[in-house]
Amino acid sequence: MIQLRLTDKTPLSPRITRFRFQHPDGAPLPVFSGGAHVMVEMQDGDILRRNAYSLISDPQDGSGYEIAVQREDQGRGGSRFMHEQAQPGMLMRLGQPVNLFGLNLTARKHLLIAGGVGITPFLGQIPELDRLGADYELRYCVRSRDEVAVDLPGAQLHVSDEGSRMDLDGVLGAQPIGTHLYVCGSARMIAAVLDRATALGWPPDALHSEEFLAPAPGEPFDVHCARSHKTLTVGAHQSMLEALEAAGIDAPWLCRGGACGQCETDVLACDGQIDHRDHWLHDDERNRKIMPCVSRFRGQLLTIDR
Amino acid sequence: MTITFNKESFRGDYSYHNSATAIRRFPFPFDRDEYMYSVNMEPHKGGRPGSVFEARFDVDEHYVAEMEDRAITLSRDPMRCQSLPHMTLAGWDVLELIMTSKAQDYPDLFELHRDGNRWRWVNRPLGIDDTFTFLDETTLPYGPMEYITRQTQGDFAVLDQREGNLWMDAGMVTSQADWSLDFDIGMNFFEWHAPVPRAAEMGIFQRALKFLLNIQQDTPARRLNWTMTVNPRLDTSPETYPEWGPEKRSLTPENLGQKQYLRVELQSFWRLPRSNGLLFPIRCYLISLQDLVTVPKWGRRFHRVIRDLPEDLATYKGFIVNRPMIVDYLSRFDDGAPTSPGIWPD
């Protein structure tokens, strides 16, 4: 983690605000690749929050990192903290850039489909595609015009309530062989796009999506950490990973959103049912592993190898 | 730090030699008296002062001669250096990483001056002083990866990361332990490791790939690997096997200490920031057995490792025909005394 200064906070739309971070000494920050995200640490009273946000600034520009945060009033509080309490001048801790949504540079063409705030990872990729002279098509879908966070001359804008919804089958069917598809938006939109692409015969390796899950709340449950000889109760609004950390049990993590695989944990015994919510584990692993960043448990006791 | 660069050759008269300092800093790869595969990774964040682990890209007394040997190999076979079209950005990543590391770690040998994208690179040992435009290939005599790896010891595999796998899509490979970039180019992690015995069944590749895919920008990793080579030859490639393969039959009990070399690879792993690729440098260190046994702990331990190595591993590492003679030689330096843990000399 590096400590950076929040130097600018600019509203982009009624719900989306851009934040710029720079090194306190003006030192350059590590460059990154388009589609990368950073983990932002927020000290919200007694609670240490960690949320992942896509980097939206030019990846080759080390003068600062920019993210865009959509306010989620029903969320766990990270976006509210950023909108209400984060102020220019504050020092905040950010992780190194990590890319789980990189461009496949062997693609003949890149089809980028963004829904709402899902435009953010593409904002880092566009300058890269422009520099490479790569062929790309960007579809930016919003419900209403006031959701538009950035004016992108190269994008085709689809506004549902103005009747210009994207013709998904038309767009997917018109791409040359060798096109790679990238989609970022709501879970529903991602599922719809991937389902249609699969039905139309797109190869699985040409389909890319990114959705960071926020750990959803649930019923409290007990987990026994065999290696640490501790039994914990995971609270209703707490993730298992957060409960482990609060108990001083070390668990590796990277995205904290069920995508990167870093916190994968072996299940030693399970008297109940695991509620898997990640995008990482294969079906055949789900009876013996759990991703404590997002997944939960219903039953008597879960025993894990931590 | 001042380094006196050896005048020496890695072919023909094989005048390669290690100074007393080079012997003491040799990366002896065995931390116990036996060997089996493991995913033996550790963070590549410096190491003992003077050791090969200290700098990000170690420069030693063999630097200039190794770069001359690389130039000879490339002039005979340009396919030792390849970069698929989508790997140019990764090539600039490699150039940037090596130039910034060397200029910081060896300021008396290398200088990098950056004014925006206008860069000046000074390499004193090789007498290079070039000014070029970063990210503009037309301003360098070679592609960026080839340019900087003609000036850096060790082989380099540049891996593209996609589809949850790593792909060998670029590289500079002239000091390899019998593998071919021209054969492996475009292969994924499992394909290029297919010839390695046992490891797949042990699940090693799945674990290693998972580890590598998760390597982050600020956390490079490293491990040691080893094999055996007759004569101090960097270019032990499949392409030139007719030149060096028969030399395995030239060992005698009398010349073995001088002609049989332990070949150690310092492998490191780096996330490349601009391309999200992975750089895999494979740095080769060679030591003759007669130099190796001047460190008593290493003589004892190496005898036990070679004597007890499973047959298939000795075959894969290419010294099965000579193993009895090597064990005979090494047994003279093993008095049966216990050895201390770890790789370092006592």
Q: Is A298:A221 a contact under the CB 8 Å cutoff?
A: yes
- The C-alpha atoms of residue B259 and residue B242 are separated, in whole angstroms, by 18
Selection from B170, B132, B137, B172 nearest residue B152 by Cα: B172
pLDDT of residue A131: 92
* Chain A positions in Cβ-Cβ contact with residue B217 (cut-off 8 Å): 30, 32, 96-98
Partners of residue B185 in chain A, C-beta under 8 Å: none
Enter the tokens of residue A137: 């098509």
pLDDT of residue B195: 82
For residue B214, the chain A residue with the least C-alpha distance is A262
Contacts with B276 from chain A: Cβ below 8 Å: 33, 35-36, 99, 102
Of the partner residues B161, B217, B218, the one whose CB lies closest to the CB of residue A102: B161
The question of whether B274 is a catalytic residue gets the answer no
Confidence of residue B318 (pLDDT cuts 50, 70, 90): confident
Is-contact B319 B7, C-beta < 8 A? no
Q: Which residues pair with A52 in a beta bridge?
A: A39
Could you say which DSSP state residue A86 is in?
A: -
Q: Is residue B66 part of a domain?
A: yes
Is residue B295 in some structural domain? yes
Q: In 3-state terms, what secondary structure has residue B47?
A: coil
What part of B 10-39 touches A (C-beta under 8 Å)? none
Please give the Cα distance from A142 to A207 (Å, whole number).
21
Report yes or no on B182 lying in a domain.
yes
Q: d(Cα A108, Cα A137) in Å, to the nearest integer?
A: 12
Across the range B105-118, mean pLDDT stands at 97
- Which residues lie below 8 Å from residue B201, measured CB to CB, with a gap of 6+? none
- Is the Cβ pair A260, B214 closer than 8 Å? yes
Domain coverage including residue B248: 20-331
Q: Flag whether B345 is in a domain.
A: no
| Chain B residues near residue A261 by CB distance under 8 angstroms | 210, 214
A chain contacts of residue B210, beta-carbon cutoff 8 Å: 261
Tell me if A30 and B217 make a contact (CB, 8 A cut-off): yes
Of A99, A131, A260, the CB nearest to B276: A99
Give the separation between CA B343 and CA A271, rounded to whole angstroms.
46
Q: What is the pLDDT of residue B205?
A: 83
- pLDDT tens figures, B224-256: 999 999 999 999 999 999 999 999 999 999 999
d(CA B48, CA A263): 32
- CA of A73, closest CA in chain B: separation in Å? 33
Cα three-residue angle A75-A81-A87, rounded to 5 degrees = 155
pLDDT at site A33: 97
Cβ-defined contact of B218 to A105 (cutoff 8 Å):
no
| Predicted local distance difference test score (pLDDT) of residue B237 | 96
B86 near A CB under 8 A: yes
DSSP of A38-61: EEEEEEETTEEEEEEEEB-S-TT-
> How many residues belong to chain A?
306
Q: How many residues does chain B have?
A: 346
CA distance A276 to chain B (A): 21
Distance from the Cα of A147 to chain B's closest Cα (Å) equals 30
Q: Do residue A102 and residue B89 have CB atoms under 8 angstroms apart?
A: no
Reading the block at residue B114, the tokens are: 């950056």
**B339 part of a folded domain:** no
CA distances from A303 to A244, A254, A262, A285, B300 (A): 13, 23, 19, 16, 46
Q: Residue ranges of the alpha helices (H) in B34-175?
A: 63-76, 88-105, 144-149
Q: What is the largest CA-CA distance in chain B?
A: 61
Amino acid identity at A301: L
Q: Is residue B340 part of a domain?
A: no
Distance separating alpha carbons of residues A16 and B25, to the nearest angstrom: 56
Candidate list B24, B114, B223, B323, residue with the active-site label = B223
ipTM value of the model?
0.86
In this complex, do A96 and B216 lie within 8 Å of one another by their Cβ atoms? yes
Q: What's the whole-number mean pLDDT along residues B206-216?
A: 85
Report the range out of A212-226, B33-47, B134-148 with the highest average pLDDT: B134-148
Spatial distance between the Cα atoms of A16 and A22, rounded to a whole number of angstroms = 20
Dist. CA B140–CA A16, nearest whole Å: 44
In the numeric block, the tokens 């475009």 are attached to B186
Q: Distance between CA atoms of B219 and A158, rounded to whole angstroms?
A: 41
Do B237 and B176 meet the contact criterion of CB atoms below 8 Å apart? yes
How many domains are contained in chain B? 1
Task: Compute and round to an integer the Cα radius of gyration of chain B.
Answer: 20
Closest CA to B275 of A38, A59, A27, A119: A59
Chain A residue set in contact with B, beta carbons under 8 Å: 30-33, 35-36, 59-60, 96-99, 102, 104-106, 131-132, 205, 254, 260-262
Query: Counting beta carbons within 10 angstroms of the beta carbon of residue A216, is it exposed (0 to 12), middle (13 to 18) or buried (19 or more)?
Result: middle
Residue B39 has pLDDT above 70, yes or no: no
Each residue's pLDDT tens digit, B65-91: 999 999 999 999 999 999 999 999 999
Mean pLDDT by 10 residues, chain A (306 residues): 96 97 96 96 89 95 97 89 97 95 96 97 96 96 95 94 96 97 95 97 95 79 95 91 91 82 92 90 90 93 95
Q: Is B6 among the domain residues?
A: no
Interface test with A, best of B89, B101, B271, B276 (most A CBs within 10 A): B276
CA A8/CA A1 separation, integer angstroms = 20
* B248/B154: higher pLDDT: B154
Residue B196 pLDDT greater than 90, yes or no: no
Report whether B67 contacts B61 (CB < 8 A): no
Q: Is B11 a member of any domain? A: no
Average pLDDT, chain B: 94
Nearest Cβ partner for B86 among A32, A106, A262:
A106
Q: Provide mean pLDDT across the span B170-176.
A: 97
Scanning the structure block, which residue is given the tokens 């499949």?
B238
Query: Domains in chain A, please, with CATH?
Result: 2-94 (2.40.30.10), 109-210 (3.40.50.80), 221-304 (3.10.20.30)
Instruction: Report d(CA B254, CA A300) in Å as an integer.
Output: 72
